[in-house]
Amino acid sequence: MPYKTLSFQFETLTRAKREMLHQAMEAYSDGLESVLRGLLERVEAEPAKTKNGYLKMMDREILAPLNEKGLEPFKDAIKLDAAMILTTYAGRRRRGKTVRYPSVRVYDGELDALVRRETFSKKEYGAALAKLRRLHPLFFCRYDRGRDYSLLRDTRSGRIYAKLYLYNRQNALLVHPGRGRELCYLPQETETLQRGKKQRYLLLPLRIGPWQERHLEDIRQGRAIPKSAALSEENGKFALHIRLWYEPAAPLACPNTLGVSRGIRDMLAYAVLDAQGRTIEEGTLRREDPQRRSRLHALSGEVLRLAERYRCRILMANLITRSDALSALAAPGMRVGEYNALVQMIAQKAPAYGLEAPVIVSGNGIFSRCPACQEMRRASVFQGNFICVKCGYSHALETLGAVNLAGALKRYGKKKIPVTVRQEQGCIVFCNSRWGIDFTCEETTEALDRFLRYAEEYVKAMAGGRNAREKRFVKQL
């Protein structure tokens, strides 16, 4: 499903409202930390494999502190947030990563106790300091008029408001929409906000620019459906991030390929090749935004627009299991973790552009392979250029990896899967012991066609990929 995240800054907030938001985020962070700590022994003893498994662990005993602290409006959100955090933690442990049990907040007394210990590592101290009184983003599970959050429009001024449920019944506030305002719920705008009641929410005006207005129009027209949201705070400024669901765009026919690799002078390098393997365009991409997430969003958008413009399948390197060895030749413009996060982000956004998720291929040798003759030589770089010692081909090292990625499908297409054919008592046998292929039929002129139909059905039967071996085989076919 294609999702987009729409971010809003708030219009100037009074000191009282800023304090209310800060207190709500602080209470949410404390509640989430309480649930994570309460689950510590259970998770370490028997970790679940899915998000639902962790949700089932959260019984009344674990959730009791939330009711005591008046966090009923956030209970569902805290449960989902904790389950997602623990699912990620357990997944990394299963992959053999050395990871600490997750924590979202550290308190003053805990930091003091760490400092008073005889020995502690710099990394341990830095991690604790980063989480000291940190405000975790406040998660809203759903778009709903009666709970969580919703959006309203002033029919007279056109201003957009966010309605955020932050209080339980005991702490409810008396909130008036204000004189001369008639606030209607998006998207239909047929129901108005009731006035003069004691309410459990805050109404906050949103700052709207052209980008936000475009997506709000999509909401009003039913092209986008608001789902979950998150309230964040940075340097005293609050923002609301709403996740929108869009219908997948009509799939595009993509005869060309777009390879995207890590760059050297810039963050990314790309190359567009046509169906015959001829270069259409090469270049690099860079974004200077200091915020990692904003930077990756901008880069992923540029990659997808390139693929949409040239009708390309996107190919990117698998840097999780194998290195691209770029650091042995030059200083990469992007860290491996950032590149892997970009791959996931592009995969999430691709359906909205009518594109398939990126094809992930091995990054091994993409900066030492000659695109012309396919020879691999790691020591063939001179003054920022790759020079093939076999055929003399030369190419800028910056975009060499992208060119090799873009040509990977064509290179894979040239590979053959060997099938042994033999005669046995008037029959013909097609077999490949490595992949478990064994097909016997009568020796007629239609034998090959019958085997090809068998191979097609064999691939369909294995499409789910029950294990890594079968997945490799289906991918190769």
More confidently predicted of 469 and 224: 224
Dmax (CA) for the chain in angstroms is: 95
Cβ contacts of 11 within 8 Å, gap of 6 or more: 204, 205, 206, 207
Average pLDDT, the chain: 86
Among 326, 308, 315, residue whose Cα is nearest residue 410: 315
Q: Confirm if 224 and 1 have CB atoms less than 8 A apart.
A: no
Residue 299: Cβ-neighbour burial (10 angstroms; 0-12, 13-18, 19+): buried
Tell me which of 436 and 192 has the higher pLDDT.
192
Per-residue pLDDT tens over the stretch 334-358: 999 999 999 999 998 888 888 988 9
E strands along 251-378, which residues?
A: 256-262, 268-273, 279-285, 312-318, 359-362
CA nearest neighbour of 400 among 328, 324, 334: 324
Look up tokens 């991918």; give the residue.
Answer: 475
How much is the pLDDT for 170?
84
From the list 436, 438, 441, 446, the residue with the least C-alpha distance to 425 is 441
pLDDT above 60: residue 178: no
State pLDDT tens for residues 283-304: 999 888 778 888 898 999 999 9
CA–CA distances in Å: residue 341 to residues 7, 348, 441:
20, 11, 49
Whether the per-residue pLDDT at 381 is higher than 80: the answer is no
Confidence bin at 175 (pLDDT 50/70/90): low
The 3-state DSSP class for residue 457 equals helix
Least Cα distance to 56 among 74, 38, 83, 77 occurs for 83
Give the model's confidence band at 115: pLDDT under 50 very low, under 70 low, under 90 confident, else very high: confident
Contact by Cβ (8 Å): 358, 259? no
Taking the C-alpha atoms of residue 375 and residue 164, their distance in angstroms, rounded to an integer, is: 60
Portion of the chain with pLDDT greater than 70, in percent: 93
Give pLDDT, residue 313: 94
The SS3 call for residue 309 is helix
Question: How much is the average pLDDT of 468-476?
Answer: 60
Amino acid, single-letter form, for residue 475? K
Short-list 359, 473, 374, 361, CA closest to 417: 473
pLDDT at 469 (0 to 100): 59
Residue 263 has pLDDT above 80, yes or no: yes
pLDDT at 465 over 60: no
Q: Is a pLDDT exceeding 60 seen at residue 448?
A: yes
pLDDT above 80: residue 197: no
3-state SS of 46-93 is CCCCCHHHHHHHCCHHHHHHHHHCCCHHHHHHHHHHHHHHHHHHHHHH
Please determine, for residue 466, whether its predicted confidence score (pLDDT) is greater than 60.
no
Stretch 29-45: mean pLDDT? 92
Residue 41 burial (C-beta neighbours within 10 Å; 0-12, 13-18, 19+): exposed
- Residue 322 pLDDT more than 90? no
> For 236, what's the count of Cα atoms within 13 Å in the CB-facing half-sphere?
4
> According to the model, what pLDDT value does residue 472 have?
61
| pLDDT tens digits, 73-87 | 999 999 999 999 999
User: What distance in Å separates the CA atoms of residue 432 and residue 110, rounded to the nearest whole number?
Assistant: 62
- Please give the residue that has the higher pLDDT: either 40 or 198: 40
Q: What does residue 256 show for φ and ψ, rounded to 5 degrees?
A: -100, 170
